C-alpha cells in the first residue's frame, strides 16, 4: 500500500489539543487502500443509525480524551435494542483501550437526561487503510457487556477514551459538542442493534388456587404468574381484582323466602375483596404475584381477574381480561342445598 507522506511539523498543542489540527489542511494526505475498505457493523448487527466515514468528507479530528469530551446526536426511527457502537478515529497512544460511553435523551438540541452509561472493554480497532496527517485512521467498534433498549427518538452519545489521545474524525456541519460547546461538525459514527415490534402477548399462568378448584380454605392467599417467553413484564401494567359472586353488582338475587333470607344474612355489599398484591420480579420474564386478602375469603365462588393491558417492556400487550374462578369452603354444598330448596316450590 502506498502512503502519501506529508512534511508537516506539529506543535504539541496542535497534536494533543482540542482538535487534531487548528487549521486542518485541505489535502489530508489520504490514499484509498488498494484492497478497498468496507464498513461492517460489529457482530453483523443491523445498522440502526449511521454517519459512516467518508475520506473525501473528513476535515479534522476532535479530541475526546484527557480533558476533552465529545458528544454527537443520533435518531432512532423505531424502538430498538442497542448492541454496539462504531466510530472512526485517530489514536496517538497505544490501543485498544476501554471507552466510557454515555447516552442521553435529547433536550432542546442538547444532551438531557442520562439514560445509559458503561465503561466498555470489548473494543476492536480495525485499520481502514487510510492515512491522514501522518496517522492511521481506524474503525473502532465497541460492544457493551449488556444490550439495552431505547424508544424511538433523538439521543446523544459520548465516546470518551480512557487513555491518551483519541481524536474522533469529523466532517463539516452538524451538532457535535466538545465539553458542551457546539463545534459545527458531525462525528463519523454508527449505532447497531435490532428494532423490535410488538409480538406475542404476555400471559397468566401458574394460578393457585387454579381455575375450577373447590373446597379452597378461606384463609388462602391467591398466587399467579405474569409471564413472557422473551421480554420483561412491565409490572406497572399488572391490574388484579378479586370478587365473590354475592358482592358483584347485578349478581344473583335471592327470593324472599325464609331459606333465601338465611342465605342472604352473610352477604356483602357490592364491591371487590380488599387485600395486598405482592409483586416479585426477581425473574422479570416470570413475575410472581401473591394476593393476600385483608380478611378470610367468603364461602362463595371467587372470581379473579388480571385486566387487559398487561404488557412487556417491548410493547407486547394482553388484549383481553384473563379470568379464573374457584370456590371456597363448602360453597358447592350450599349451591346444592339451594337447588333442592328451589325444587320444592
C-alpha cell of residue 179: 465539553
pLDDT at 191: 96
User: 124 pairs with which residues across the strands?
Assistant: 141
Q: Which position has the grid cell 338475587?
A: 253
Q: What residues contact residue 2 under an 8 Å CB cut-off, 6+ apart?
A: 31, 34
DSSP structure string for 244-270: EGGGSTT-PPP-SSHHHHHHHTTPPPS
pLDDT at 76: 96
Task: Give the predicted TM-score (pTM) of the model.
Answer: 0.60
Burial class (CB in 10 A: 0-12, 13-18, 19+), 11: exposed
pLDDT in tens, the chain (345 residues): 223 222 222 323 334 567 765 654 444 444 444 555 666 655 556 899 999 999 889 988 999 999 899 999 999 998 888 999 999 999 988 888 999 999 999 999 999 999 999 999 999 999 888 887 778 899 999 999 999 988 889 999 999 999 988 999 999 999 999 999 999 999 999 999 988 777 889 999 999 999 999 999 999 999 999 999 888 899 999 999 999 886 655 433 322 222 232 223 333 434 589 999 999 999 999 999 999 999 999 998 999 999 999 999 888 999 999 999 999 987 654 443 333 333 444
Q: Name the residue among 241, 242, 247 with its Cα closest to residue 266.
A: 247
Are the CB atoms for 212 and 190 separated by under 8 Å? no
Q: Name the residue among 240, 238, 241 with its Cα closest to residue 228.
A: 238
Are the CB atoms for 149 and 194 separated by under 8 Å? no
pLDDT tens per residue, range 37-88: 666 655 556 899 999 999 889 988 999 999 899 999 999 998 888 999 999 9
pLDDT at 340: 38
Residue 243 CA to residue 341 CA, distance in Å, equals 26
Domains along the chain?
A: 12-195 (2.60.120), 203-344 (2.60.40.1220)
pLDDT at 252: 34
Q: Name the residue among 16, 13, 34 with its Cα closest to residue 135.
A: 16
For residue 165, CA distances in Å to 66, 91, 111, 219 come to 7, 6, 24, 68
Amino acid at each position: 500500500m502506498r502512503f502519501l507522506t506529508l512534511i508537516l511539523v506539529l506543535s504539541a498543542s496542535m497534536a494533543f489539543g482540542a482538535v487534531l489540527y487548528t487549521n486542518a489542511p485541505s489535502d489530508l494526505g489520504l490514499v484509498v487502500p488498494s484492497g478497498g475498505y468496507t464498513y461492517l457493523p460489529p457482530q453483523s448487527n443491523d445498522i440502526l443509525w449511521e454517519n459512516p466515514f467518508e475520506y473525501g468528507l473528513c476535515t479534522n479530528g476532535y479530541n475526546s480524551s484527557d480533558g476533552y469530551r465529545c458528544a454527537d446526536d443520533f435518531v432512532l426511527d423505531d424502538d430498538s435494542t442497542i448492541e454496539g457502537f462504531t466510530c472512526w478515529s485517530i489514536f496517538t497512544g497505544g490501543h485498544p483501550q476501554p471507552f466510557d460511553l454515555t447516552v442521553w435523551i435529547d433536550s432542546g438540541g442538547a444532551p438531557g437526561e442520562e439514560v445509559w452509561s458503561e465503561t466498555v472493554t470489548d473494543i476492536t480497532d480495525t485499520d481502514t487503510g487510510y492515512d491522514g496527517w501522518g496517522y492511521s485512521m481506524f474503525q473502532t467498534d465497541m460492544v457493551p457487556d449488556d444490550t439495552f433498549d431505547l424508544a424511538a427518538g433523538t439521543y446523544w452519545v459520548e465516546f470518551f477514551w480512557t487513555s491518551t489521545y483519541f481524536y474522533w474524525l469529523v466532517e463539516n456541519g452538524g451538532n457535535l459538542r466538545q465539553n458542551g460547546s457546539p463545534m459545527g461538525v458531525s462525528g463519523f459514527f454508527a449505532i447497531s442493534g435490532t428494532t423490535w415490534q410488538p409480538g406475542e402477548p404476555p400471559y397468566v399462568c401458574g394460578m393457585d388456587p387454579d381455575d375450577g378448584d373447590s373446597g379452597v380454605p378461606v384463609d388462602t392467599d391467591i398466587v399467579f404468574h405474569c409471564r413472557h417467553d422473551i421480554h420483561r413484564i412491565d409490572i406497572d401494567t399488572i391490574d388484579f381484582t378479586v370478587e365473590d359472586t354475592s358482592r358483584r353488582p347485578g349478581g344473583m338475587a335471592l327470593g324472599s323466602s325464609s331459606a333465601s333470607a338465611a342465605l342472604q344474612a352473610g352477604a356483602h355489599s357490592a364491591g371487590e375483596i380488599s387485600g395486598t398484591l405482592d409483586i416479585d420480579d426477581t425473574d422479570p420474564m416470570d413475575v410472581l404475584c401473591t394476593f393476600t386478602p385483608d380478611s378470610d375469603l367468603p364461602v362463595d365462588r371467587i372470581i379473579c381477574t388480571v385486566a387487559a393491558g398487561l404488557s412487556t417492556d417491548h410493547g407486547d400487550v394482553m388484549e383481553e381480561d384473563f379470568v379464573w374462578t374457584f370456590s371456597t369452603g363448602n360453597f358447592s354444598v350450599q349451591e346444592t342445598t339451594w337447588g333442592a330448596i328451589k325444587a320444592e316450590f
